[in-house]
Structure 1
Amino acid sequence: MKSNILWFLLVAHMSWAQTKTLHPEAYLKIVEKYHPVARQAQIGIRKSNAQILEARGAFDPILRHYISSKTLDGTSYYQYNAPELSIPTWYGIEVNTGVENLQGDRLDPSQTTGQTSYIGVQIPLAKNLLMDKRRAALQQAKLMNQMAFAEQRVVLNQLFLDAMEAYWHWLKCFQALKITGQNLDAAKRRVEFVKRSVELGDRPAMDTLEASTQFMYLDNQNLTKMVDFENATLQLSAFLWQENNAPSSLSREIIPAEVWTDMSLFSNFDLSLPSILEKVDSFHPELQAYQFKIESLNVEKKLKFQSLLPKIDLQYNHLMKDKSTTNSGALFANNYRYGIKLDLPLRLSSGRGEYQSAKLKMEEASIQLSQKKQQIQIKINSYFNQFQNLKKQIQTQEKAVSSYMALTKAEESKFSQGESSLFLINSREIKALEAAEKLLDLKAYLFKTVYALQASAGLLI
């Protein structure tokens, strides 16, 4: 498959020098824009928007038209034509208007012949007055939409954390390969130096074997680090995708940016523990998702409470027979039709059960929210303690690396003057190499911890 990484980097506004480097910020932009997980999170939001549109449909005006007729043995019993427009409102009141046209020879005396128009309302007086299924569905759809945004942040937080862990591992492997390469070059020069010294009679032939053995050891180390770097590159490539949902591989020409000392990467991060803990309640997406869930359950509880009320519906229509019909000004004086419907379960067993279930769901969600909040606070404190400890360890390890390198150089200087041995140089060099690799591990761990701290607080995205 043809790689399209260069195009990705240009989209991310990445700057290029003589060597092509992939900066963490540009890398994250690529991940956010093209990774399938990030795209799926966007789809979740669009689905919730569709659910809101679907719930709003319950408030759409409805046009009905009923036509009916009966003719038997040449007798026209009736011909009925009745268009009607019904308009639901947010407060449970339904406004309706229409026209009835009734003609025929065999009609019920209670029916009005000819054309009659009307305008009226249907009002719930108890059940469904403050809450009904339509309003509950729309409110819950809006809350689900907000929850979808919170869940998107949860997904992106974890995705960014995983992506950056891969990046820091890639950078660490690159730096380790660079260090072993430098040591390998130094060992090669030392072998050549020893060979010339042996030829001149300044060194015993045994030193050639000692220098060659060290070179072979470092050569193997370099090959191992090369494999580690290639595998880390493959792991990083798993987060790089193209616009057409096709995976892409990272070119070997691209290397990580050397940002170990670039603390400006954290300039947008909050690294103050009290401040982070203060922001958690308001900004953590997982807690927000729980809060939206509780609000949705509260809407459900209000809806279930309606089942404890009697259903009393009032319907009133003002009638107009012809243009001469006038309104007397009183609702029940003339030209009207009304009805009242009462529906009351005597034991309310279903309503009481549904209402209790809704309250228990809210209680359960509140407990889960408290538990999740505690887990998040513990995780934040743990990462922060780890962050503080790693800074101290790195300072100590940097001093150790400087000391080991100084000892190695001093031993090499003494060796060039015939006052030391290759065995001591090799020992110092291996110790310095191990210390440098340990420092790389600590730095990678520090950067991973900083991002983990932000992700645990929900602040990474």
Structure 2
Amino acid sequence: MRNYLLYSLLFLVSSLFSQEIETDTIVLNFKEYLGYVKKYHPITKQAELNIDIGQANLMKARGGFDPKMEVDYDRKKFKGTEYYDLLNATFKIPTWYGIEFKGGFEQNDGDFLNPQNSVPDDGLFSAGVSIPIARGLLINDRMATLRKAKFFREQTKANRDLLVNQILYDASLAYFDWLRAYAEKEIYNDFVQNAKIRFEGVKRSALAGDKAAIDTTEAKIAFQNRTLSLEQAKVKLMKSSLALSNFLWLEGNVPIELQSNVIPDQKVEEVIDSTLEIEGSPLSSFTLENHPKLKSLAYKIEGLEVDRKLKANKLLPKIDLEYNFLTETPETARSFNTAEYKGGVSFSFPLFLRKERGALKLAKYKVQDARFELETTQLQIKNKVTAIFAELESFINQNELIENIVRDYNTLLAAEERKFSFGESSLFLINSREKSLIDAKLKEIEVQNKFFTTKAKLFNSLAVNPLSL
């Protein structure tokens, strides 16, 4: 009984001393940590950069509909003779359906001027329109480029959400590994203290003749084994801390190295669902409609469909009509005379269409391939989420079982220590009970880690992008 009271007193002093040391520790909670990752990690900034790239592509595509001014000036003068002096200025306004409005001014002069270039001395004004009546009317390169750019912009938004979700998922796993390593280190630290107290107590009892000398050897071996395990746990904690530091950055792309006094939050289970925004998400409420991966594939298909329609349109003959009113005095609308005009028609059509038909087939195959990918991805996501929900249900039961096992092993160890204080047990049995308890506690941490990891997998599979971080 005296030895038992001595052990208890030493253990209490040791616990108070440990608490005093840990008063300077800083807790990095899970939500705060993910907030730093989402705000400052370079990959999240890279994801936002993709949005800017999509917007830039859209601006570039819209540039195909910008009005255009063209000026063509050509002059030839040789041995004092002005052969010709040609000026042709044109202003063009492209529209959505391939129709192009034009306005122009032409002024030509010279001793050897081509008769068809003869115009009044003050020049000739024109205003007209160019219309494709077959190929290029309902869809053309400019129209297709703009449509695809719009779909690409929306696709980059979906890809951004996927990229941010993935980095938060990876960061979560790093945090859980850090939490696991810290918990294992704390377990070994507690049992090292217990083994040390037991070793010191047995050694004093052996010197007093109350215990056999060989008991000190066994107590010493147990203490050394616990110390060895503690050192290994410290190395594991150090490695997991460095792995966690890979996700910590500050403004200006400044990396942060996790300090030794920073510890993980021991109450992650209370906040993990709300932090990852998977709280209250039963399997029955799961839908695929807004999944970013499927949205990205859908926008990809839309873009490929535009390309297919463009290729199909190029099977049509190219027939362009052009009509321009001509006038010397453009001040009033009445000066335009429909009988004075410049117009024409152009026609072209490949005889075999092998190039166009081949391009259309390739476009169709790309659409089919993308649709197959979409259907496969839908099934994969659905089955994966269903499996994760089943896994989570299992881990809830596993956590309850391992908690009961740890509690029972604690009871066995406490009973064995009490029997030992009365001289009715041995160090071998205490060490055996303690080893079983350590294994059970480590198993409890492992199950908890797998439980958290599975929740992170659900977050990743649902492709959630938390906005509250």
TM-score (norm 2): 0.88
Structure 2: how far apart are the matches of 1:185 and 1:207? 18
Is the deviation greater in 160-169 or in 37-46? Answer: 37-46
Q: SS of the residue aligned with 2:326?
A: strand
Structure 2: how far apart are the matches of 1:257 and 1:326? 79
What are the Cα deviations for residues 16-36 of structure 1, in whole angstroms up to 9, with x where unaligned? x95211112222222223333
- Shift of the 421–390 alpha-carbon distance from structure 1 to 2, 3 Å rule, reads same
Q: Aligned to 1:385, which of 385, 390, 405?
A: 390
Is the deviation greater in 66-75 or in 289-298? Answer: 66-75
Q: Which residue of 2 aligns with 1:218?
A: 226
1:311-322 equivalence runs, <5 A: 311-322=318-329
- Shift of the 113–78 alpha-carbon distance from structure 1 to 2, 3 Å rule, reads farther
Structure 1: how far apart are the matches of 2:329 and 2:285? 73
Q: Which residue of 1 aligns with 2:283?
A: 273
- Shift of the 226–155 alpha-carbon distance from structure 1 to 2, 3 Å rule, reads same
1:405 Cα deviation after fit: 0.6
1:31-70 equivalence runs, <5 A: 31-70=37-76
1:67 Cα deviation after fit: 1.5
1:43 Cα deviation after fit: 2.6
1:104 partnered with 2:130: no
1:93 Cα deviation after fit: 1.2
Over the aligned positions, Cα root-mean-square deviation in angstroms equals 2.2
1:301 partnered with 2:315: no
1:163 partnered with 2:171: yes
Structure 1: how far apart are the matches of 2:207 and 2:330? 128
Identity value in percent: 36
1:326 Cα deviation after fit: 6.1
Structure 2: gaps of 5 or more residues: 1-22
Given that 2:330 and 2:336 are in contact with CA atoms closer than 8 Å, whether structure 1 keeps it comes out as no
Structure 1: how far apart are the matches of 2:420 and 2:34? 49
Structure 1: gaps of 5 or more residues: 1-16
Given that 1:81 and 1:102 are in contact with CA atoms closer than 8 Å, whether structure 2 keeps it comes out as yes
Given that 1:451 and 1:460 are in contact with CA atoms closer than 8 Å, whether structure 2 keeps it comes out as no
1:252-401 equivalence runs, <5 A: 252-263=260-271, 265-266=273-274, 268-270=277-279, 271-276=281-286, 278=287, 280=288, 282-322=289-329, 327=334, 333-401=338-406
Q: Aligned to 1:410, which of 390, 411, 415?
A: 415
Given that 1:260 and 1:443 are in contact with CA atoms closer than 8 Å, whether structure 2 keeps it comes out as no
- Shift of the 266–442 alpha-carbon distance from structure 1 to 2, 3 Å rule, reads farther
Structure 2: how far apart are the matches of 1:82 and 1:51? 33
1:339 Cα deviation after fit: 1.3
What are the Cα deviations for residues 98-144 of structure 1, in whole angstroms up to 9, with x where unaligned? 21122334434443232111111111111111111111111112212
Structure 2: how far apart are the matches of 1:116 and 1:145? 45
1:224 Cα deviation after fit: 1.2
State the one-letter code of the partner of 1:133.
Answer: D
Given that 2:68 and 2:92 are in contact with CA atoms closer than 8 Å, whether structure 1 keeps it comes out as yes
1:254 Cα deviation after fit: 0.9
Given that 1:154 and 1:285 are in contact with CA atoms closer than 8 Å, whether structure 2 keeps it comes out as yes
Structure 1: how far apart are the matches of 2:89 and 2:114? 21
Q: Aligned to 2:132, which of 110, 119, 124?
A: 124
State the one-letter code of the partner of 2:423.
Answer: G
Q: Which residue of 1 aligns with 2:455?
A: 450
Structure 1: how far apart are the matches of 2:115 and 2:271? 91
TM-score (norm 1): 0.89
Q: Aligned to 1:172, which of 154, 171, 180?
A: 180
Structure 2: how far apart are the matches of 1:323 and 1:224? 92
Structure 2: how far apart are the matches of 1:75 and 1:205? 127
